[in-house]
Structure 1
Amino acid sequence: MKALRLLDPERAHGAALLALRGGLAPRVPLVTNARLRVQLAGLDLPNPVGLAAGFDKNATALHGLSRAGFGFVEVGAATPRPQGGNAHPRLYRLTEDRAVINRFGFNNDGAEAIAPRLARRPKGLVVGLNLGANKDSDDRAGDFATVLHRCGALVDFATVNVSSPNTEKLRELQGPAALAALLARVLEARAGLPRPIPLFLKISPDLTPAELDDLARVAVDAGIDGIIATNTTLDRDGLTSTHRAQAGGLSGAPLFARSTRLLAQLSLRLDGAMPVIGVGGVGSGAQAYAKIRAGASAVQLYSALVYDGLSLTARIVRELDALLQADGYASVTDAVGTGRQDWL
């Protein structure tokens, strides 16, 4: 980890993926038991701690990630056509804040290149694909549907990503009319798959209460299977690091409270209609537990790995298990939403 932090952040990220592909990364035990196992939208998860999209954009390191202790892994975002993303530099460590700013812009190899890699994914690993739209597309809803049509049969779930701040006007798709039309197109594509897979929606932490009301209503009416809360934020309050003013989406520790508050508000609005996956600032078992008690059925992480490495995964799961046991919960599901009021 010390050596990787001496590298440019994006080069370090590439080196980590290379190590995973080459079997050089440390093997992390999969921590699981009856208390930790979760059924989420029909998915059987050995534990509720997953890897968020963005780490393995092109599904090149799935075999290495299958030995990293995650209960599930999300790759992507994938777009129909390959795209290089935004200009370099576009990834910044905010070490003093234990945070990251990125403005990648959906850089990926494209769905045609990613699909064969998904077809060779390791058995037993729950894998999802984050769906994206090309930056220059004149039919972004069609782009999401195209990626799902090409790759949907090769994954266990898919996520509609309308919340990245790094693709111009993408977040406008979170408006009620645009979102309803988009979800209808994607659900139509899902209906054409050989087997149905859960469809999730990933949302921004920067939504107003009124926008969250609309989004929850549209999601329930559309009949999707869950919501991932949240993506990165444009907020910069309280940061101290040198790179705090860089453009892009902020993730990591400073996002924890903001994303957890919105998660709790969303959970209240959904009232059990669908599960929520909590993302944003998870770096310990206590933080994973807080998101579960705020209303999440599972959690994802990414930025904390930049500072603590892959061994963090098993540590978070063990800490979470101990907290569940100490509070007398027989399962993760029993704890979901029990502390929601603390965040409202």
Structure 2
Amino acid sequence: MQIPYILTVFVVLFLIVSPVSASLNKISANSPVFIGEADVDISAALNGCHTISWYNSGADINSATPAKSTQIYPINTVTTLIYNYNFTRDFYGGYTGTWYCTDLAPYYPVFVVEEPQLDIKVWDLDHNVDVTGKSIPKATNITYRIDTNLYKALVLKNRPNRNLDDTPFTVKLINPNELPVPGIYTGTMGKPGTQILSFDSKPYFTDSPYYWRDGGEWDHNARDLQGTTVYPDGTYSFVVSQNLNHMQDDYVTRSAAEREGKTTKTALVAFEKQPFVATVTEPPVTTAVTLSTQVSTQQPTESGTSLPTLPTSTPVPKKTTYSPIPEWLGIAGLVIAGIFIIRKQA
């Protein structure tokens, strides 16, 4: 029978095509963990330990009495709790720092408890300053900046099973019309070199601060193929949230103020309305000649426009007129001419 062989092939194929599940839940020894995380695999961190303790700052852990202790599970027992352990606020709130295994000396660190811290800013790339909550010229190059201690959950030595597809962070960009912006134009459509880049909504980083890598490519004055402004004037929102190992479930009943800076944070920036600038065509420069007096009457041309006026100082030609010759003088002239002709012929 080939059934075992067929089943083996089926399992291998299943593993190949199946998506890789999130793997941020397993921690190494002495790694950071965050209040609110759930279903965390602390087995490697415990390394067989049963009782963990927390000491006040500066205390000698070898001689001082722990300020707080808990038995994870009794000695000589087996439990699945260490594979899905919860760092609840009710127990760990106010007890941040290193927790030690105190079964037997020498005591050793198991994990380091931290409060989650999450912040996002709007960053002016032209001047390298924070412009969160401000109104800026639309031409200013900006990006978002994330400051957080949660990046430690993406460091390989802390979470050995993490993969590059895992990230607890989500960022959204919301325009003044309360609509998400899924991509950014690097220029006006139709212009050579213009691209539409996906918005960096699932950042993965192992250090802080983190800057949106393509923020400086965003052309806020871009227009679409119809010539319409893609990004209207007004207030834009950058919203970051994180859900490391279901942490938001721990905050679901808490106020918005308690969630702000822990599981979510919002940064606002306003693009200033651009003033309307009219295009003015300068008239041609002409040299004016001052005339002493102008003729007041203008004669229209055939097209209906007036002829330029003429100065009176310019001489105007006058028609020469003559008086008529007296009639008797004309008759006398004819008589004299006749006598002259007759004598000439004789």
TM-score computed with the length of structure 1 as normaliser: 0.20
TM-score computed with the length of structure 2 as normaliser: 0.20
Higher relative contact order (CA 8 A, sep 6+): 1
Q: Per residue, is there more helix in 1 or in 2?
A: 1
Larger-gyration structure (1/2): 2
